[in-house]
Chains A and B, each alone.
Chain A
Amino acid sequence: MANKEVMTVNMGPQHPSTHGVLRLVIELDGEIIEKITPHIGYLHRGVEKLSEHRTYHQTIPLTDRLDYLAPMSNNLGYVLAVEKLLGIEIPERAQTIRVIMAELTRLKSHLVWIACHALDIGAMTVFIYAFREREAIMSLYEKISGARMTSNYFRVGGLSSEVYDGFEKDVREIIDTFPAHFDTYEGLLTKNTIWMQRTIGNGVISAEDAIDYGITGPALRGSGVDWDLRRDNPYSGYEKYNFTVPVGEKCDTYDRYKVRLVEMREAVKIIRQALDSLKPGPILADDPQVCYPPKENVYNTIEGLIHHFKIASEGFPVPEGEVYQSVEAPKGELGYYLVSDGGNKPYRMRIRPPSFCNLGAIEKMAKGAMIADLVAVIGTLDIVLGEIDR
């Protein structure tokens, strides 16, 4: 047998296909990957530590910056966890708007995924199209919250403000165009020979292994596990909507691609149902100790101003206890584990990021693959480093 020489190659942290500041040290035997070691932490900002020194409301903007492609999903998980600790009920209108925004966020995040994933494998057209569509959602974000990416729109107890007039019309206009766009992507990719050759049989991970490695979300469903938190442990009123959960069979990159595409179509369906059921009503829970007063009161009455000031500066006390609340974020299960000691700041906040656990499986998925296929594996995992490093 010929001498085997292992070559070590460094990939990242600055590399267009690593989707952020991910560094991989790859040991190669020829072109075959023998071992792969991820190095992360380049984007560590200490969100968990910072949150221990901020009031509950002050932490919401930090959560925007975790998975910066899906800020409202992060907001949603966090406010749900705090609301669970407090034990307060959220008005129906606020819940429905949250669902609409969370599903638009899923579309937004999946559009970036399909754009970058296709670009990595060489299909540039999809990238341009998907970013064009994403722009519509970003504009809606800006109209509703004032920011294109760091939305900071949800509040403990409801929403920061009522939606603008014409919001429903705008959302309908956006989602009405989407099914045709999905057809375009499918037309460009699903039967594309190059796409199929690059993705079928790539990054295979069995259902048992995927669960073992803690993969969640569409990546797990691509491996044939029929599990979606929105359906199985519903939150924020998801039990009211009808949607199917797509499941893959072959456990490879191609199946995960198909799962995510169906998921986008289902998200559009959920948004339609939510818009149909949207009724006028309050957007904040009736709990003055926790929720901000209406803006008219803040501007026109001294009591309202004092109330606002008290919540903004001092926050609110939260009963002693611990909760774990998770949501089906676009990338998988996003969990918040909050420990309260009865004060106005979390005693400990732990974020369970989906990308972090999904990345842990890369050593399994990429082992034995060709080095050129590695970018497809990274793309199919759909990782965001802001969330991994926190």
Chain B
Amino acid sequence: MAENNRAVIKLKEKYADSILEVKEFRGEVTVTVAREKILEICGFLKDSLRFNLCTDVTAVDYLGKQEPRFMAVYNLYSIPNKDRIRVKAPVPESDCAIDSVTGLWKSAIFLEREVYDLMGINFRNHPDLRRILMTDDWVGHPLRKDYPLQGPDREPYKGRLS
């Protein structure tokens, strides 16, 4: 159960006010926290609970499904304890920014650049926030749900004609 997870117990003790939701699905624990506290909580997870490997930083666009629109997702792994935790933080569209965790894990430099490029979330205090996969002059963020699959200014694909 999620309540017995070692990280969840400690987080609930220390950051009870900032935790929005704790969920377990298929044996994976997801903790949703307030955006303002993301850096502090990630720092606690890294330093006190030894989640030393930041495997992944990504984001999900919940356009029209829930508010706030974006959800930043951090998949953390602890090499000494061999366990995982997923931390999420909601990011509103109006102020589409969140603190960068590059100060904690350098792997986030590339990973956050990709989220910025494809999802359009700004990472505050990121040392080198540039587009990474798309060209520098690209307009728009392709992984957003309102970005057309065919790319901008093109007819949507209607299937093969023959």
Contacts and interface: CB of A to CB of B under 8 A. Distances in A.
The answer to whether A and B come from one shared complex is yes
Interface of A: 40-41, 44, 46, 48-50, 53, 84-85, 87, 209, 211-214, 216, 225, 227, 232-233, 321-324, 326, 333, 335, 337, 339, 341, 347-348, 350, 352, 356-357, 359-361, 364, 389-390
B53 A350 contact: no
Nearest to A390: B133
Given A41-B133, A214-B110, A360-B110, 8 more contacts: A44-B134, A49-B142, A211-B79, A212-B107, A214-B106, A326-B55, A350-B73, A390-B133
A338 to B, nearest CB: 11
B65 interface: yes
Top 4 A-B residue pairs of the complex, sorted by shortest distance between their CB atoms:
A214-B107, A41-B133, A360-B110, A352-B56
Contacts of A390: 133
Most buried by A among B28, B56, B65, B111: B56
B34 interface: no
A62 to B, nearest CB: 14
A335 B135 contact: no
Contacts, number: 96
A60 to B, nearest CB: 19
B84 A357 contact: no
B129 interface: no
B65 A85 contact: no
Interface in B77-108: 79, 82, 84, 86, 105-107
Interface in B19-40: 25-26, 28, 30
B149 interface: yes
A348 B108 CA distance: 20
B33 to A, nearest CB: 16
A48 B143 contact: yes
Most buried by B among A50, A321, A341, A350: A350
Majority SS at the chain B contact face: mixed
B6 to A, nearest CB: 16
B132 interface: yes
B75 A352 contact: yes
B11 interface: no
Contacts of A232: 82
Majority SS at the chain A contact face: mixed
Interface string B105-148: 11101110010001000000000000111110000001100010
A323 B26 contact: yes
Given A87-B26, A323-B28, A324-B75, A389 B133 contact: yes
Contacts of B109: 360
B56 A359 contact: no
B60 A348 contact: yes
Contacts of A53: 149
A362 to B, nearest CB: 10
Nearest to B115: A350
Contacts of B105: 212, 214
Contacts of A211: 52-53, 79
A372 to B, nearest CB: 26
6 contacts: A49-B147, A322-B30, A352-B55, A352-B58, A357-B111, A360-B106
Contacts of A337: 56, 58, 73, 75
A40 B75 contact: no
B106 A40 contact: no
Contact of B132 (A41, A323, A361): A41
Contacts of B53: 211, 214, 216
A339 B82 CA distance: 23
B149 A49 contact: yes
Contacts of B86: 322, 324
Given A49-B149, A339-B60, A389-B133, A357 B26 contact: no
Contacts of B61: 348
B140 to A, nearest CB: 12
